[in-house]
Structure 1
Amino acid sequence: MVQYNPKDWLTFIFRFHKSDTFRQLIPMMILIGIYSYVVTYLEMEYWQLAENSHVKNTTIMHGMVGFVISLLLVFRTNTAYDRWWEGRKHWGALVNNSRNLAIKLSAYLKDEHDRNYFRKLIPSYASFLQKHLADEETALMLIDGLDLDIDHHKHKPNQIAKMLFQKANDLHVSGKISGDQFIIINAELQSFTDICGACERIKNTPIPYSYSSFIKKFIFIYIMTLPFGYAFSLGYYTIPVVVFVFYVLASLELIAEEIEDPFGNDANDLPTKKLASNIKKHVEEIL
């Protein structure tokens, strides 16, 4: 995730980060510029269309549909940001619930072996969830003296959650924790699986294909017809104008595509690896 100072305007304007859409759109912007030049040249030099040509009136169409395309893009970016923010809230809940579980276990457990088990296994849930959501495969992981033989073909966070619950149940059966304490611990462990399911829902349910496809086609047709009308009034200045309009519209769509899946490795995705590291640090401090 990119860290920045929101008040530093000059940095925003003149710095092109590796995740900036300008870098990604340069090839398409060059092609759009060439296309705009060809259309402008044909209208002004080759065909020499008159000022009263009906082609000039295509700008009316752009004015009418411009408002529609702006509404579509606003809805698209808002929907993508909602998914990004919801993912951040779930990971924030995972941080808090991990701390709460560690605090309660620190009060309940006196045996150092039991405390050490949870000290290592609670952070491993966040670590495996981060890898699970980012599609990073880990078949066998050794965590500070705990041999966690994780089945590569099964749901890895669920396997960690099962180990945590099994250990809590064993503590209850052996009489190390009371029934009320076991119920409290169980509620915290259940929240782990709830958070995992919510994050999987965000990751595995992209925006409907027909909606995303329609926006891309809409932008493409809008940009392809833009030079025909503006060549009459702007001449060869149509080229930078059309390229800039394409940059703005396409950038909004690219940004929405990037943040709608907040658990990947893009520059603007959530810092889940750092959050998992913080959970490990805090749990080890508590236990």
Structure 2
Amino acid sequence: MSDIGTKGSAKRTLTSVLPSLRPKRKHLRKYSWLPDVFRIKGSIISRIFWPVTTNTLFATIIAYAWHNGYRIMLTNSVVPLLSVVVGLILVFRNGSSYDRFWEGRKCFATVISNVRNLSRQIWVNVALPPSDQDDTPSKKGKAPVPTASQLHRIKSEALHLCLAFPFALKHYLRGEDGLNWSDYHDVLPKNFARFDEVGYQKSKSDLTTSYHTISNKSSGRSSPDLGRGDATKRVRPKRSKQNLPSQSTPLLSDAVTHRTVEFRPFADDNSLPLPLIIAHEISRLLFYFRREGLLETVGPAGMNAMNALVQSMVDNMTAMERVANTPIPISYGIHLKQCVTLYLFALPLTLVNDLGWMTVPIVTVVAFTFMGIEGIADEIEMPFGNDPSDLPLDRYCHDLKEEILYIIERLPDSGEGIYGYDDGEGDD
């Protein structure tokens, strides 16, 4: 009886456990591809629906004419050769588009890695000189050394500058000029640039503020002033820029809240992208840290390593700029579409005599396959946009923002808390 009771309890336990072991609907993708087979959102169907429908209607007309006794057909010896050529062109088109997509991903990942490394090195290696070296900043020609709280604020602003580079790069690659974008709000340093509601410009009061101006009248030396001068003409929308996407400047509204964008005239047509301005300011900060003796722990080699990270950021920006500014030649895309269309319209004429009404679904499947490949290639060839198939640059930047803010708010800087550490082993 005890054995029967034990078996019964084990059976009940197994029965209660089995439902939890069954794959839930949200995990079906791990075990089956059926959810993707019937998925419409995120697929290429919406993009190619009407071209495929057009081919289906043409095949239906050919099948209907054949059914009514009209014999309109082509020889079946030429179309197979054309299918091989079209297939090779589609493969090359898809491969070249994915190469551009993957290169954009690699370059942006390298920028993220460089920002992480540069932020960590600035946060840890930039430190006040040891107090036993020279804490008498009254020497002639020697600027006073900042206090610990002042240096902490300067480094915090430096990390915000590093964080602003990928954000500015994202907008630059998308052709989104100006600073009136919501994600700049708590990323760009507050004294880097200002804008008001009628144009992108700096407030006069901000031009006198910087990270912290540490000046000596005898030396005339000070810390970098990010509010000095005109940052860049690319900070404001250019007059030649057409159709700025989602630019939040209300051009037309009711009479009470009506505002217009006022473009200030430029002295010339010179321009500089915002990411390059940010890279320039980062380099100026590194120079300031080295000049004031705040990089003594790493020396010239550490200074060169930090500058190399900034240079790598600019190099990868140029590589992504090359992808964004060099689309696949339009003649290539036009010829490919013409070849695919010619093949798909010739296909029902070669199949109708042998398949009859079955020509319609077969032509639909072939059109869906060929046009889908071309549609995917067309979607991913420019990976920096806002389409669902493009790179999620907003998510990459948001994740990096969380990391940098965590460093600033939670992690100690400049070896804080490790001085006087005793491991208990005594002196050797």
Common fold, TM-score beyond 0.5? yes
C-alpha separation in 1, matches of 2:333 and 2:92: 11
Q: 2:377 aligns with which of 256, 268, 281?
A: 256
- The answer on whether the counterparts of 2:348 and 2:359 sit within 8 Å (CA) in structure 1 is yes
Displacement of 1:56:
4.3
Asked if 1:30 is matched to 2:53, the reply is yes
Report the counterpart of residue 64 of structure 1 in structure 2: 81
- The answer on whether the counterparts of 1:95 and 1:279 sit within 8 Å (CA) in structure 2 is yes
**Are the structure 2 counterparts of residues 6 and 135 from structure 1 closer, same or farther at C-alpha, using a change threshold of 3 Å?**
farther
So what's the TM-score if we normalise by structure 2?
Answer: 0.61
C-alpha separation in 2, matches of 1:7 and 1:251: 25
Equivalences for residues 95-110 of structure 1 within 5 A: 95-110=112-127
Identity of aligned residues (%): 26
CA-to-aligned-CA distance 1:73-117 (integer Å, 9 cap, x gap)? 111111111111111111111121111111211222232022111
Displacement of 1:30:
2.3
Q: 2:186 aligns with which of 139, 143, 148?
A: 143
Asked if 1:269 is matched to 2:390, the reply is yes
Q: Which amino acid aligns with 1:169?
A: F
Displacement of 1:138:
2.9
C-alpha separation in 2, matches of 1:26 and 1:179: 61
Asked if 1:175 is matched to 2:293, the reply is yes
C-alpha separation in 1, matches of 2:178 and 2:354: 60
Gaps of 5+ in 1: none
- Comparing both structures, which one devotes a greater share of its residues to helix? 1
C-alpha separation in 2, matches of 1:164 and 1:183: 13
Displacement of 1:216:
0.6
Equivalences for residues 90-129 of structure 1 within 5 A: 90-110=107-127, 111-129=151-169
C-alpha separation in 1, matches of 2:315 and 2:87: 36
Displacement of 1:46:
4.6
C-alpha separation in 2, matches of 1:221 and 1:89: 37
Q: Which amino acid aligns with 1:253?
A: E
CA-to-aligned-CA distance 1:43-95 (integer Å, 9 cap, x gap)? 34152x3xxx8x341x2212111111111111111111111111111111112
Displacement of 1:28:
2.2
- The answer on whether the counterparts of 1:105 and 1:115 sit within 8 Å (CA) in structure 2 is yes
Give the CA RMSD over aligned residues: 2.1
C-alpha separation in 1, matches of 2:31 and 2:389: 18
Report the counterpart of residue 131 of structure 1 in structure 2: 171
SS of equivalent to 2:68: helix
C-alpha separation in 1, matches of 2:393 and 2:336: 30
Asked if 1:86 is matched to 2:100, the reply is no
Q: 1:190 aligns with which of 304, 311, 335?
A: 311
CA-to-aligned-CA distance 1:259-284 (integer Å, 9 cap, x gap)? 11111111121111111122222223
So what's the TM-score if we normalise by structure 1?
Answer: 0.89
Equivalences for residues 210-221 of structure 1 within 5 A: 210-221=331-342
Q: Which amino acid aligns with 2:300?
A: G
Report the counterpart of residue 284 of structure 2 in structure 1: 166
Report the counterpart of residue 320 of structure 2 in structure 1: 199
**Are the structure 2 counterparts of residues 88 and 8 from structure 1 closer, same or farther at C-alpha, using a change threshold of 3 Å?**
farther
- The answer on whether the counterparts of 1:84 and 1:261 sit within 8 Å (CA) in structure 2 is yes
Report the counterpart of residue 200 of structure 2 in structure 1: none
Equivalences for residues 241-252 of structure 1 within 5 A: 241-252=362-373
C-alpha separation in 1, matches of 2:338 and 2:30: 33
C-alpha separation in 2, matches of 1:91 and 1:179: 28
C-alpha separation in 2, matches of 1:208 and 1:41: 39
Q: Which amino acid aligns with 1:30?
A: T
C-alpha separation in 2, matches of 1:155 and 1:38: 55
CA-to-aligned-CA distance 1:14-66 (integer Å, 9 cap, x gap)? 1111x32212222222222221122222234152x3xxx8x341x22121111
Higher relative contact order (CA 8 A, sep 6+): 1
C-alpha separation in 2, matches of 1:39 and 1:21: 27
- The answer on whether the counterparts of 2:122 and 2:155 sit within 8 Å (CA) in structure 1 is yes
C-alpha separation in 1, matches of 2:88 and 2:158: 50
Number of residue pairs matched by the alignment: 277
